[in-house]
């Protein structure tokens, strides 16, 4: 169940983006007091009307450089950055505006910006300042505060604040609906019903009341009343997003056709926020979702038809097409997304990943270069560009871009930082910079204790060099524990045990690897033969080496080594 009015994000089309920013510029320029940069501001309007976002941003920066106390220009820049999904940049810009002048509209924007990053603590700081400043919207701001406390994990505090607010506030279906979210989450369904049933029976026009009430009835094992109230809500309020609640109820009753039909009705409505639809699609991308891939494609086709000018609709379609293994069509959809919003980093990331998945490494590099024209020095784009060069075995360029990614990743998530260090580990190892490689892998694991790829690669390369084998065993074991039944990781663990002379244990793990790898690789079969020969099983070892030779070794040197093992019926270093 959603809270449509409490969880709005900036999801506008490219045209909508311009209208919002131009509207902001008009509002600023219509101030009674003329400003020395009014003419330049008008020029920015004209630039944005032509769709030239980059030059428009440059012009705003030029105004700021000449008039560093122009809080309204910082605010306009914040809006533009938010529309381009650059929330970090938007937050920095609105902070600058607030440092100059603490206007209610700036505080409100800051709350929304931090909410979009799921940073409830920071949003609460600015919301409390706004509550102190804005006497006209106290009731709505207090409701917002309840939900921010709840979403920030302060559930008991949120419930206490709700009851205190309810004691002094006029009876309100909106406030009771907010409280019902907390009570439903706490499992107090009776309290929810007591709060909301009177409002629903009176025929309130607030659609969320029916959604929350239906959820309480459904969780109380009364699906009939749940359906009755949702259908009443649809008829009374004419709010089409209630079809999503109806779809949920049918899905809980395992009536999947009725559930999907209800979803389609919600998706076909132009009154339902794109954000709601997009969140549903992202949830349904789970491979264990209730609907088929054909049904998902039908939904995203509706999404694109109803919201053709929103880049994220094409991103969603690209993801579904990729899930269906229609990679060329997925590339086309993602290409449309980045052409509509070239500042959409996730779209570039997906497009470059898809390029590499198809083996089109030069295309990935080209897309990386195009993306960096709009989002220069972006750590994510630099990382994926480096990975494309790595796939091409162009180690120097791969190193250059990965080190650039690291230099620009100070404010990025530990997850991305860990992936960058893991990439550096791979690159430095290929360049025989072993100390630097080991250090990079260890830093990747420190930043992300679940980074199984870094654990696996560090263990494997240590075993090849016969260095710190106890450490190699530790990391290989951690990788197999964190991601069981992964044939690659099991092969590494077997090989590390082999390097440590633990042949019986190595046999157990290589057999697991063979079971979990399809198709079996030449390296895996060669390792199996190596372990068997150490256990005195010569005939079986030679058989596996022959199978490996048939698969084809990666290098001519590897092929010659395999032939020598077969000829001599012995292990060759």
Instruction: Answer yes or no: same fold for 10-101 and 274-339.
Output: yes
In this prediction, residue 19 carries a pLDDT of 46
Q: For the residues 154-161, what does the mean pLDDT come to?
A: 95
Q: CA 316: distance to chain centroid?
A: 12
Task: Calculate the average pLDDT of the chain.
Answer: 90
Instruction: Decide if 388 contacts 368 (C-beta within 8 A).
Output: yes
Contacting residues for 317 by C-beta, under 8 A, at least 6 apart = 300, 301, 303, 304, 333
CATH class of 10-101: mainly alpha
Burial of 34 (C-beta count, 10 Å sphere; 0-12/13-18/19+): exposed
pLDDT of the residue at 9: 29
Tell me the three state secondary structure of residue 130. Answer: helix
Residues 466-472 have a mean pLDDT of 94
Is a pLDDT exceeding 70 seen at residue 206? Answer: yes
Three-state secondary structure call for residue 52: coil
Q: Which tens digit of pLDDT belongs to each residue from 20-41?
A: 555 555 555 555 678 899 889 8
Q: Is there a contact between 208 and 180 (Cβ–Cβ < 8 Å)?
A: no
Q: Dihedral sign, CA of 462, 467, 469, 470? A: negative
Q: N- to C-terminal Cα distance for the chain?
A: 61
List CB contacts of 473: < 8 A, sequence separation 6 or more: 459, 493, 496, 497, 500
Read off the pLDDT band of 13 (50, 70, 90): very low
What residue ranges do the domains of the chain occupy?
A: 10-101, 171-272, 274-339, 342-449
* Per-residue pLDDT tens over the stretch 36-73: 998 898 888 888 777 677 788 899 999 999 999 999 99
Asked if omega into 509 is within 30° of 0 (cis), the reply is: no
Which superfamily is assigned to 274-339 in CATH? Tetratricopeptide repeat domain (1.25.40.10)
Contact 307, 314 (CB under 8 A): no
- pLDDT, tens digit (0-9, with 9 covering 90-100), for 256-281: 999 999 999 999 999 999 999 999 99
User: Residue 18 has what pLDDT?
Assistant: 46
DSSP code of residue 5 = G
pLDDT tens digits for range 215-238: 999 999 999 999 999 999 999 999
User: Which phi and psi angles does 238 have, rounded to 5°?
Assistant: 60, 25
Predicted local confidence at residue 7, as pLDDT: 31
Give me the phi and psi of 89, to 5 degrees please: -65, -40
> H/E/C letters for each residue in 66-92?
HCCCCHHHHHHHHHHHHHCCCHHHHHH
Q: What sign has the CA pseudo-torsion 258, 264, 270, 276?
A: positive
User: What pLDDT shows up at residue 554?
Assistant: 76
Q: Which CATH superfamily is domain 171-272 in?
A: Tetratricopeptide repeat domain (1.25.40.10)
pLDDT-derived band at 6 (thresholds 50, 70, 90) equals very low
CA–CA gap between residue 526 and residue 555 (Å, rounded): 14
CATH class of domain segment(s) 342-449: mainly alpha
- Cβ contact 312:337 at 8 Å: yes
DSSP letter at 6 equals: G
pLDDT at 57: 86
Q: Is 521 exposed, middle or buried (0-12, 13-18, 19+ CB in 10 A)?
A: middle
Model confidence at 4: pLDDT above 60: no
98-120 burial, b if ≥16 CB within 10 A, otherwise e? bebeeeeebbbbbbbbbbbeeeb
> What does the pLDDT average to over 304-309?
96
pLDDT digits (tens, 9 = 90+) for 123-155: 999 999 999 887 777 888 999 999 999 999 999
DSSP designation for 552: -
Answer yes or no: is pLDDT of 243 > 70: yes
pLDDT of residue 255: 95
How many other C-beta atoms lie within 10 A of the C-beta of residue 272?
21
Residue 412 dihedral angles phi and psi, to the nearest 5°: -85, 170
With left for phi above 0 and alpha for psi between -120 and 50, is residue 297 left, alpha or beta? alpha
Query: What are the tens digits of pLDDT across the range 523-546?
Result: 999 999 999 999 999 999 999 999
Cβ atoms of residues 327 and 340 within 8 Å? no
Separation of alpha carbons 158 and 186, rounded Å:
12
Comparison of pLDDT for 390 and 83, the residue scoring more: 390
Helix ranges restricted to H, 220-357: 223-237, 242-252, 256-268, 274-284, 293-306, 311-323, 327-340, 345-357
Token pair belonging to 397: 């360029």
Indicate whether 173 pLDDT > 60. yes
For the chain, the maximum distance between any two Cα atoms, rounded to a whole number of angstroms, is 93
Q: What is the pLDDT of residue 17?
A: 44
Of the chain, the percentage scoring pLDDT greater than 90 comes to 79
């Amino acid at each position: 169940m959603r809270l449509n009015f409490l969880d709005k994000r900036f999801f506008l089309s490219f045209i909508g983006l311009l209208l919002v920013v131009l509207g902001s510029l008009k509002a600023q320029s219509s101030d009674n007091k003329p400003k020395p940069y009014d003419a330049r501001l008008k020029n920015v309007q004209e630039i944005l009307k032509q769709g030239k976002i980059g030059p428009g941003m440059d012009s705003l920066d030029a105004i700021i450089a000449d008039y560093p106390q122009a809080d309204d220009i910082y605010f306009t820049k914040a809006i533009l950055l938010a529309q381009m999904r650059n929330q970090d940049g938007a937050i920095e810009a609105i902070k600058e505006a607030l440092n100059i002048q603490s206007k209610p509209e700036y505080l409100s924007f800051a709350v929304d910006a931090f909410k979009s990053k799921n940073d409830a603590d920071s949003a609460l700081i600015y919301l409390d300042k706004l509550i102190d400043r804005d006497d006209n919207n106290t009731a709505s701001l207090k409701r917002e505060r309840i939900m921010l406390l709840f979403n920030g994990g302060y559930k008991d505090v949120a419930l206490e604040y709700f009851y205190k607010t309810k004691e002094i506030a006029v009876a309100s279906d909106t406030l009771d609906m907010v409280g019902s979210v907390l009570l439903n989450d706490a499992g107090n369904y009776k309290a929810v019903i007591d709060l909301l049933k009177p409002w629903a029976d009176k025929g309130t026009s607030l659609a969320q009341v029916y959604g929350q009430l239906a959820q309480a009835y459904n969780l109380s094992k009364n699906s009939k009343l749940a359906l009755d109230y949702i259908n009443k809500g649809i008829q009374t309020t004419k709010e089409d997003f209630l079809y999503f609640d109806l779809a949920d109820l049918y899905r809980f009753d395992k009536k999947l056709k009725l559930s999907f039909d209800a979803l389609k009705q919600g998706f076909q409505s132009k009154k339902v926020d794109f954000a709601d639809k997009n969140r549903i699609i992202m949830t349904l991308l789970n491979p264990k979702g209730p609907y088929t891939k054909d049904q998902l494609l039908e939904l995203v086709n509706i999404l694109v038809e109803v919201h053709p000018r929103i880049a994220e609709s094409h991103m969603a379609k690209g993801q579904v097409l990729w899930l269906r293994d229609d990679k060329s069509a997925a590339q086309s959809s993602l290409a449309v997304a980045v052409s509509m919003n070239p500042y959409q980093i996730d779209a570039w990331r997906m497009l470059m990943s898809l390029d590499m998945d198809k083996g089109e490494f030069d295309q990935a590099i080209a897309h990386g270069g195009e993306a960096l024209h709009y989002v220069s020095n972006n750590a994510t784009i630099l990382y994926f560009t480096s990975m494309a060069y790595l796939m091409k075995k162009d180690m120097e360029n791969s190193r250059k871009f990965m080190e650039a990614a690291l230099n620009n990743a100070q404010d990025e998530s530990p997850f991305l930082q860990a992936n960058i260090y893991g990439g550096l580990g791979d690159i430095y190892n290929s360049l025989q910079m072993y100390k630097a490689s080991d250090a990079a892998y260890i830093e990747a694991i420190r930043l992300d204790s679940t980074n199984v790829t870094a654990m696996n690669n560090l263990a494997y390369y240590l075993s090849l060099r016969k260095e710190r084998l106890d450490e190699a065993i530790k990391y290989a074991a951690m990788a197999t524990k964190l991601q069981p039944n992964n044939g690659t990781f099991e092969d590494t663990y077997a090989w590390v045990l082999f390097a440590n002379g633990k042949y019986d244990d190595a046999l157990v793990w290589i057999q697991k690897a063979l079971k979990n790898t399809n198709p079996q690789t030449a390296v895996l079969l060669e390792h199996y033969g190596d372990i068997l020969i150490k256990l005195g099983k010569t005939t079986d070892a030679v058989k596996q080496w022959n199978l490996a030779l048939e698969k084809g070794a990666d290098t001519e040197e590897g092929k010659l080594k395999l032939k020598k093992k077969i000829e001599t019926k012995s292990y060759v270093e």
